[in-house]
Amino acid sequence: MTTAENRKPKTENPKKSLRIFLTGVGGQGTLLASRLLGEAALAAGYNPMVSETHGMAQRGGIVVSTVVLGDLQSPLISPGEADIVLGFEALEAFRALDRCHDRTLLIANTATQVPYPVAIGQAKYPSVAEMFQRLAARVGALLAFDAGALAHESGSPLAVNMVLLGALAATDSLPIAAEDILSVIRTRTKEKFLASNLKAFELGAAAARDPGNWQRR
């Protein structure tokens, strides 16, 4: 991921606004992902605002965060106004459709984490294929793949966040170079997880380069 075509000049256009919405289930590392994106953006000369939801992260609830770049002061993203959505779990990616518009890039993990009402038979988990088919028809582009499997492959099942960051960095939709994100990951990761995190990032990037994972309108 340090190839020349991914290298971008710093502060390409720090005024260009970009709203990134991250959503997942407690324990999936959404907050770390948004923080790393924010740190990378700051290092690259942008003025990022990152907002987080705290409190329910350990208890199986939904955890969302936002990263806002450019000439904007608000840390929040309103319904219908996310330019990029990272969905860490299939159902939560679909639920985040309310943040999307018709040019949104949605990067989604197709792996599921069953909510408790579904686990005990009180509610039904919708068909993943059905959800992604309908998603693809509404957003600008959908990049969907099993990020959970790639995290396992990297040696760290908890590295779904690194897989999705790698995929995002490889899409060319960020004003930050992949190398800027990687250098933040290197400084923020504990030694024993570094190799697996970098591998997960690379596997995510490879998934983004696979045309079979894309659906564009």
Partner 1 sequence: MSVLLTGSAGERRLFLGNEAIVRGALEAGVALVTTYPGTPASEIGDRCYGISRQSDLKFEFSTNEKVALEVAAGAAACGWRVLCAMKHVGLNVAADALMTLAYVGVKGGMVIVSADDPSLFSSQNEQDNRYYARLSGLPMLEPATPEAAKAMTVAAFALSEQLKVPVLLRTTTRVNHTRGPVTLGKLADRPGPGRFHKDPFRQVMVPAVARQAHVRLLAAQDQARALAETSEFNEISGAGAWGIVTSGVAGTYAADALTELGLTGKVRLLKLGFTHPLPAALLGDFLAPLTKVLVVEELEPYLEDGLKAIAQERGLAVTIRGKGPGLFSRLYEYHPGLVREVVARFFGVASEAAVPLAPEQILEQPLPDRPPNLCAGCPHRAMYYAMKIALQDLGVEGIFPTDIGCYTLGLLPPLSMADFLICMGSSISTAAGISRATGQKVVAFIGDSTFFHAGLPALVNAVHQKHDFLLVILDNGTTAMTGHQPHPGVSLMPPGYPGEHVPIKRVVKALGVEQLWVVNPFKYKESLAAAKEALNASGIRVLISEAPCHLYAQRLSGKKRTARFQVTQGCGECRDCLDNFGCPAMYLEPGDAGQLQIDPELCSGCAFCVQWCENIRPVGAGKGRE
Q: Which is nearer to partner 1, 126 or 179 (CB)?
A: 126
Q: Which is nearer to partner 1, 137 or 195 (CB)?
A: 137
Q: Which of 20, 10, 5, 17 is nearest to 168 (CA)?
A: 20
Instruction: Kindly state whether residue 98 participates in binding partner 1, applying the rule CB under 8 A.
Output: yes
Instruction: Kindly state whether residue 160 participates in binding partner 1, applying the rule CB under 8 A.
Output: no
Q: Of residues 8, 12, 14, 95, which one binds partner 1 by CB under 8 A?
A: 95
Phi-psi region of 2 (alpha: psi -120 to 50; beta: other; left: phi over 0): alpha
| Amino acid identity at 204 | G
> Going by C-beta distance under 8 Å and a sequence separation of 6 or more, which residues neighbour residue 146?
109, 110, 111
Instruction: Kindly state whether residue 124 participates in binding partner 1, applying the rule CB under 8 A.
Output: yes
Q: 35-94: which residues touch partner 1 (CB under 8 A)?
A: 35, 38-39, 42, 47-56, 58-62, 71-81, 91-92, 94
CB of 48 to partner 1, least distance (A): 7
Q: Which is nearer to partner 1, 36 or 208 (CB)?
A: 36
Q: Which of 56, 29, 134 is nearest to 91 (CA)?
A: 134
Kindly report the number of other CB atoms within 10 A of residue 193's CB atom.
17
Q: Are 57 and 13 a contacting pair, CB within 8 Å?
A: no
Q: Which is nearer to partner 1, 121 or 211 (CB)?
A: 121
CA gap 105, 180 in Å, rounded: 21
Instruction: Kindly state whether residue 141 participates in binding partner 1, applying the rule CB under 8 A.
Output: no
CB of 173 to partner 1, least distance (A): 19
> Going by C-beta distance under 8 Å and a sequence separation of 6 or more, which residues neighbour residue 140?
101, 102, 103, 104, 105, 216, 217
100-109 and 141-145 beta bridge pairing: parallel
Instruction: Kindly state whether residue 115 participates in binding partner 1, applying the rule CB under 8 A.
Output: yes
Instruction: Kindly state whether residue 132 participates in binding partner 1, applying the rule CB under 8 A.
Output: no
Q: 23-42: which residues touch partner 1 (CB under 8 A)?
A: 25-26, 35, 38-39, 42
CB of 5 to partner 1, least distance (A): 28
Instruction: Kindly state whether residue 125 participates in binding partner 1, applying the rule CB under 8 A.
Output: yes
Q: Which residues bind partner 1 (CB under 8 A)?
A: 25-26, 35, 38-39, 42, 47-56, 58-62, 71-81, 91-92, 94-101, 114-121, 123-126, 130-131, 134, 138
